[in-house]
Amino acid sequence: MSRSPRVLLGVTGGIAAYKAAEIVRRLKSAGAEVRVALTRSAHAFVTPLTLEVLSGQPVYGEEYLEGNGSGEELHITAAAWADVMCVAPATAHTLARLALGLADDFLTTTALAFSGPLVIAPAMHFEMWSKRAVQQHVATLETRGVRLIGPIDGPLASGEVGMGRMADPESIVAALLGAASRVAARKTGSLAGRTVLISAGPTFEPIDPVRFLGNRSSGKMGFALAAEAARRGAHTLLIAGPVALGTPAGVDRIDVETADQMAVAVAATAPGADLVILAAAVADFRPKAPAGQKIKKDQGVPTFDLEPTQDILAGLAKIAPTSIRVGFAAETERLEENARGKLLRKDVHFIVANDVSRTDIAFGREENEVLVFSRDAEPVTIPRQAKAEVAAALLDLFTAALAPPVVGPTLGAIAGRR
């Protein structure tokens, strides 16, 4: 980002509001521009003057709703100004208003008008946090791509200890700066001039003309990666197995069904790609001799001889030796052990591992949590969040591994990458 990141911080009426001063201080120290909006209740916990001095900007309050007589709709201009918006602390009442799309004060009208990444740091008593109504509002916000930081387990204002304490300012600021950097990557086209190839979804291996061997992959993670790569300016190629998903804007899509078809498509496109991400859940085995006609039940229980499919990821280094190569590992046990082994065996730069035995991030879910392994660094954890946000964090890692672009016909075939 050529200019400083811009953060709009909303502060609501909870005891943790006093920590807003530290959030502002840390953001300013990191070089961010900060503006603050206080709800009416927040005034009881922290004064506008404190936040105005720390931010160097006037603090938004209810008197700004009408634009101070200027005719300007300041909730609209504030939303347009910000790269990232944060609500910290976010009370149970505020979570409900945001989830329901209510807009009855400056903070919520601005949030409704804001189109960038929204980060929320809930804070409340553990009895409130655990209630079904609150959790439903949280789930609604998360499915819309809102990033929640915390709450955490710790001492509460009541003197009790439990889940409901606002996340530490350091963690909140790190999340905000990370979100701002992803906004910058999209705006500046950090992948402009690059070609990114992504595979997604399952493969179906025919048993007969009607039935197949398949898996539960929805393709959502791979499609999120393709959408993010296109937003960052990449020429994005998406090889999609049989999924019920629309093609992301700016993405060239190739539809396949079987592992063999996917292998052919990868072989044809990977040599020209700067970054190859094989996120598809390719079948490991297929029937050796599929039946030519539908197998009838009255013929008895059929038996099948299986044979392995082509290992597309293992062959990638040979067909795309100068590309940054990324594989996925969907595991149900020994996640780290299996992922590290795959990293070495497949000769790739990154393995993205996730535990598909978990019901909250398994196939078809809207969220994911992954552990990223690379050749020469410690594993990186990308915590549970919307798959679009996971995709953005992953592309931050992969883009950093790309060699500087060169001008001329060798673009996309750069030697010397790790």
Q: What is the mean pLDDT of residues 248-273?
A: 94
Domain pair 6-185 / 192-401, same fold: yes
Torsion of CA 312, 317, 320, 324, to 10 degrees: 100
pTM: 0.66
Share of the chain above pLDDT 90, in %: 54
Most confident of 2-11, 78-87, 183-192: 78-87
**pLDDT at residue 417 in the model:** 34
Overall residue count recorded for the chain in this entry: 418
In this predicted structure, the answer to whether residue 362 has a pLDDT above a threshold of 80 is no
Query: Which pLDDT does position 212 carry in this prediction?
Result: 86
The Cα 156–Cα 164 span in angstroms is: 7
Provide the pLDDT confidence category of residue 133 given band limits of 50, 70 and 90.
Answer: very high
Q: Report the first-to-last Cα separation within the chain, whole angstroms.
A: 26
pLDDT at 407: 41
Known catalytic residue at 68? no
| Residue 194 confidence class, pLDDT cut points 50, 70, 90 | very high
Q: What's the pLDDT score for residue 352?
A: 93
Residue 355 — pLDDT band, cuts 50, 70, 90?
A: confident
Give the pLDDT score at 64: 53
pLDDT band of 387, cuts 50, 70, 90: confident
CATH architecture of the domain with range 192-401: 3-Layer(aba) Sandwich (3.40)
For domain 6-185, give the CATH number: 3.40.50.1950
Among residues 215, 338, 354, 368, which one is catalytic?
215
Average pLDDT in the chain: 87
* Mean pLDDT on 222-239: 93
187 pLDDT band, cuts 50/70/90, is confident
Question: Is residue 141 over pLDDT 60?
Answer: yes
CB 179 within 8 A of CB 186: no
Mean pLDDT of 133-158: 89
Bigger pLDDT: 145 or 253? 253
User: How is the chain split into domains, by residue range?
Assistant: 6-185, 192-401
Strand 306-308 and strand 152-155: the pairing is: unpaired
- Residue 394 is encoded by which pair of tokens? 């992953």
Of residues 277 and 175, which shows the higher confidence score?
A: 277
User: For residue 68, what pLDDT is reported?
Assistant: 52
Q: For residue 63, give the amino acid letter.
A: E
- For the segment 262-289, what is each residue's pLDDT rounded down to a tens digit? 999 999 999 999 999 999 999 888 888 8
Higher pLDDT, 207 or 184: 207
Rounded-to-5 percentages of helix, strand, coil across the chain: 35, 25, 40
Q: In which band, very low, low, confident or very high, does the pLDDT at 2 lie, cut at 50, 70 and 90? A: low
Band of pLDDT at residue 144, cut at 50, 70 and 90: confident
For the cut 50, the answer to whether the pLDDT of residue 40 exceeds it is yes
At 80, is the pLDDT very low, low, confident or very high (cuts 50, 70, 90)?
very high
CA 108, CA 87: separation in Å to the nearest integer?
Answer: 10
Instruction: List all residues 6 or more positions away from 89 whose beta carbon is below 8 Å from its beta carbon.
Output: 11, 12, 14, 16, 17, 19, 20, 121, 122, 123, 166
Question: How would residue 404 be classed by pLDDT, with cut points 50, 70 and 90?
Answer: low
Q: Quick one: what percent of the chain has pLDDT higher than 70? A: 92
